[in-house]
Amino acid sequence: MGDFMKIAKRIGTSGLVLWGLYGVFAVVAVSTGLEETTFRFDGPLGGAKAFVWVALLAFLAYSVYCNVQENFFRTLRTMVGLHWGRQIGTDLYLGLALALFIIFLNDGIWTALVWLVPVLIYANLAVLLYVAIHFDSIVTKLLGL
């Protein structure tokens, strides 16, 4: 329990709140968006779906690790002062707008609006979660099946 308290102290109160909110969001998103095939990895694209889930879990673990190593808000303040930091931020949010457009095309305006705030806060952690949950319906629509 002592190691957990050390990690919690390094993350800080705001970080713990944000990770707690992500956990609640993920549980609600999975339970409300659960499709019959969400956790089935058979078929021709089963490996691709498994890759998305593994990528999500690996990226989540790495994000928590980074949060333990560095204060997110202090790092963000430093990055915003750099030209490349602003370019990377602009690139990220253009990509997130594109991801929200795909959510809109897949599920409609109301679902895109529900996912808007989590995508803006958690960025690709939210996008990967959406893709993992709705992998089959996205692929079906993209391939016109």
pTM of the model: 0.86
If you average pLDDT over residues 24-32, what whole number do you get? 94
Domain ranges of the chain: 2-143
Distances (CA, A) of 87 to 25, 79, 96, 127: 29, 10, 14, 20
Res 30 pLDDT > 70: yes
Q: Please give the average per-residue pLDDT across 34-39, as a whole number.
A: 83
The two most distant CA atoms of the chain are separated, in Å, by 53
For residue 35, what pLDDT is reported?
79
Q: Which residue has the higher pLDDT, 106 or 73?
A: 106
Joined together, the tokens standing for residue 132 give 């993992």
**Which pLDDT does position 98 carry in this prediction?**
97
**3 state SS of 54:** helix
Beta-carbon contacts of 124 under 8 Å, excluding residues fewer than 6 positions away, are 59, 92, 95, 96, 99
pLDDT score, position 33: 84
